[in-house]
Structure 1
Amino acid sequence: MDENYLRLRSGSNETTRVIGILQNTQEILDDLDRQFCEQTGLNGTDIAILFLAIGLQIARQYLLTKFPIRLDDQVAAQTTFGHLEEHSNRHHRLYNPSLEEIISNPVPFDANVKANGALSGGGYMGHRVTAIGHDPLLGLIFGTANIATSTLTNAHFDSFHIYTGTLGRDEFRQHARTDLVLSCTMNKLLSGGIEGKQIVAVSLMKEIIHLRSDVNTLHSLPLPVVSVVNPQLASNLAAYGLDMANVLTVAKQATYATMINALIAMFHGMFSDATTAMEEKLYEVKTRKILSYSNIVASSSNLAIVAITKDFHKLDLGGLAVTIYRLITDRKFIRQVKEEFIFGSYKDMIMNDYI
């Protein structure tokens, strides 16, 4: 009888306790919300790291990832090659120029004399979109093959032999077979001995150097592959700013901003003394606040400076994209952790596990 009484008494007390919690739910949730804010608020160390992050992002914006000043073709060539122009002196051996000839002559896909419409339809970018040796991706294949065979392949995959004209300039002379352009290049690589391998290697290097010299010119290079789908579209996109120079710069901005965020997150993590899973999550909330705040401050200051100076070379589009991404993902993470902390603690209180 006494045992049953004690059991009933205990049950009654537990019921009273749970009812008391339920009746004070709003006050308890408000208190847990306050505790969450206190435990995830930034202290002195966190604020110091926040200012470090802001400083690194701002330094990155103006020292490492500004939009480059566009050069005209001749200045770009002089900067890259150390001279203004290469003069054509081809010996007209079909598909088989010598190594010396490849080194001393300009890339054949820059030819436009006597093209007779073979390079038409390029619009704003001209031969940069109709000669696919200028494609940042396909050019590594076709541009290399064109250099190794003294040919030019256009956006329709028609190929032409390039000769030295009477004025020492490259010019179109006759059609070539695109399949032979590729197969002859492959034969040089696989069965042409040391010289054949040297020819292909030098052709690839010359292709890469040429793309590099063109990318930051006034017309830059088209987006990869678009030229072979629609040269006019590639040209129109470039006219609106969607060219390789801008894409590479924005990608560089985003990559560097992300790298700084990762370094700051690792550095801040070194100061954590969390021992439980929830404490680790609460500390990560502080880390994410530091990253979000630093990105917001850096992007806001950048937009303000660009608006004041009208200097769009300073615009940090990639960093702004990273900031927006962080705002979305960090806010979602913080909200999830907050809900887990508050409602998890509330549940523990009801289950009598809350301390």
Structure 2
Amino acid sequence: MSSENLRKKRNLIIEKIDNNLSEMNDIYEETNRVKTVAENTRVILDDLDKQFCEKTGLNSEEVALMFFAVGLQIARQYLLTKFPKRLSDKEAAKKVKGKKEEHSNRKHRYYNPSLEEIASNPVPFDANIGSNGNLKGGGKMGHRVTTLGHDPILGLIFGTANIATSTLTTSSFLSFHIYTENKRDYFKSKASTYKVLEATVNKTLYQGIEGKKIIATSFIKEIIHLQSDMYTKNSLPIPFISAMNPKLASKLAERGLDMANILTVSKQVEYAIFINTIIAMLHSLFYDGNTEMEEKLHEVKTRKIIAYSDMIASASNLGVVAFTKNLNLLDIGGITVAILDFIKYKEFQKKVKEEFIFGSYKDMVMGDKYNMIDIQ
């Protein structure tokens, strides 16, 4: 072997040794770095927790947006979605139907009243004279839970059919012909519920334009009647319950679970959610990040604005109700939305916080140089 080859081999060995020593030094330094990170875990996690709070804190513009949301919710509570004043049956009918008066003058044609008769007579399922106990069991709600024409959903079918055939169908699905005597509506005789529905279908499909006019007029009359009864003192029962148990429907109404209150609370929920959606859309205009984590941090702030504004508005509402002792001002739907939004906000915040803190800590352990904290 020549001296030149020996020299090359020696240099190669020296180079490998240098590389090994360099790698060992890197491993040593990396071990020390990981050791330092591990020894300072509590400090690092506390610092990352602080960073998360800073990144999800609200700036002055976002605080202004939050109080704008509070203002919108409070305006909604008292201008758009408070519980309406309950009226008497006569007051409600006059408000909905205007000055048009209805008089009972039925001609007693079984299942086949004329269009004029339908338009001028009151709905047949308000009759109660001569019922012989067929409307009993309604409790406080009376005939509104023992006749299907007053069910907010079933009434669209049975109430329309009753008007179109001058009949009344009870919650037990028994039907009766209604006739006029001394300008008042009476139970005359039993009718067939099947024939009530059959006659209604026949008028719709086989009696030409006149039959369709009768059904359309009956349907509109049913809608108007439900509307006029909705915000009376007894209101209307919850859909379907009266068909199964009239007494239960009446007891629920006594405890405030009637159709008027359900509609009002639903309206409160819908309007509160609509305002929150608008606020979320406005806050999205503030976003200027690029990464997925930045987007999640921004969403935490969005949810915070919505949750806090809802809670402030709800607390204000409870204060007003307590001071005025006026339960008609109570924002049940809005308070429900506020509670649910706050729970969802805390759950989402916890999830993103864990992802931010432990994700950042993992990156530090794995060696990514984020320079998040100076470790002494």
TM-score (norm. length: structure 2): 0.93
Partner of 2:67: 51
Q: Does 1:212 align with 2:227?
A: yes
Deviations 1:7-49 (A, max 9, x none): 1111111111001000000000111111111111100110111
Partner Cα separation in structure 1 for residue 264 and residue 152 of structure 2: 15
**1:85 offset after TM fit, Å?**
4.9
**1:316 offset after TM fit, Å?**
0.2
Q: How does 1:166-245 map to 2 (within 5 A)?
A: 167-245=182-260
Partner Cα separation in structure 1 for residue 100 and residue 141 of structure 2: 21
**1:354 offset after TM fit, Å?**
4.4
Q: How does 1:1-355 map to 2 (within 5 A)?
A: 1-83=17-99, 85-165=101-181, 167-355=182-370
Give the SS at the match of 1:220.
coil
Give the SS at the match of 1:88.
coil
Partner Cα separation in structure 2 for residue 87 and residue 14 of structure 1: 96
**1:198 offset after TM fit, Å?**
1.1
Partner Cα separation in structure 1 for residue 152 and residue 54 of structure 2: 52
- What value does the CA root-mean-square deviation take over the aligned residues? 0.9
TM-score (norm. length: structure 1): 0.98
Partner Cα separation in structure 2 for residue 260 and residue 285 of structure 1: 18
Q: Which runs of 5+ in 2 are unaligned?
A: 1-16, 371-376
User: Bigger shift: 149-158 or 81-90?
Assistant: 81-90
Give the ranges of 4+ consecutive aligned residues of structure 1 lying more than 3 Å apart after TM superposition: none
**1:84 offset after TM fit, Å?**
7.7
Letter in 2 for 1:35: Q
Partner Cα separation in structure 1 for residue 101 and residue 79 of structure 2: 31
**1:168 offset after TM fit, Å?**
0.3
Letter in 2 for 1:299: S
Letter in 1 for 2:194: D
Q: Please say if residues 131 and 155 of structure 1, whose CA atoms lie closer than 8 Å, have aligned partners that are also in contact.
A: yes
Deviations 1:136-167 (A, max 9, x none): 110011001001100000000000001011x2
Partner Cα separation in structure 2 for residue 296 and residue 251 of structure 1: 18
**1:274 offset after TM fit, Å?**
1.4
